[in-house]
Amino acid sequence: MTGEWRPEETGTHQDHVIAHVIGATVLGYFEADDALHLLLDIGFIWTIYPDAEMGLVPQSLALKELNTGDEERARLGGDLRRLHDGEADAETFALITPAPAGCLVEEVRLLAKDEMRRLEIHGETAALVVETSTLTGEMSVGQWQV
């Protein structure tokens, strides 16, 4: 990877999803089905794929569509309920990582460097950075307080 991070154009569908998540708060996130899923306080899950494509579906539908067993789906559903109820103690979650407090989405930027994609989700007082590889499908999430 020799290039520098550079702004990447978003497509019409990405723009549409981003427009819907502005003003929502990210409560937590988890990886499943080769994608990152962000739980929003509005009852939707924002899914981000390694190529930076994305989707936005109601939480109940997202859970049903996951390629996972019933036991794991039930644990994930429990985690989602606890996050919505404001239980932010990371040790109580089986499958979800809580987002930093204050992750009200104000801006979303997409950057690229060679086969890597970087989605920066800037919040009111916190931010998430999702880095992906279009070659390997690997994804990582960084979070910080602003």
pLDDT digits (tens, 9 = 90+) for 102-134: 899 999 999 999 999 999 999 889 999 999 999
Q: Quote the distance between the C-alpha of residue 128 and its chain's center.
A: 8
Range in 23-27, 66-70, 119-123 the model is least confident about: 66-70
User: What is the average pLDDT across 66-75?
Assistant: 89
- Rounded to an integer, the average pLDDT of 90-96 is 78
Residue 88: inside a domain, yes or no?
yes
Q: Tell whether 132 is covered by a domain.
A: yes
Q: What is the pLDDT of residue 2?
A: 60
Is a pLDDT exceeding 90 seen at residue 61?
yes
Q: Are 103 and 128 in contact (CB under 8 A)?
A: yes
Which position has the token pair 């109601």?
A: 58
Domain holding 39, by residue range, is 6-145
Number of domains, the chain: 1
pLDDT recorded at residue 126: 92
Inside any domain, residue 1: no
Instruction: Tell me which residue of 118, 115, 109, 123 sits closest to 40, measured CA to CA.
Output: 123
Residue 88 is predicted with a pLDDT of 62
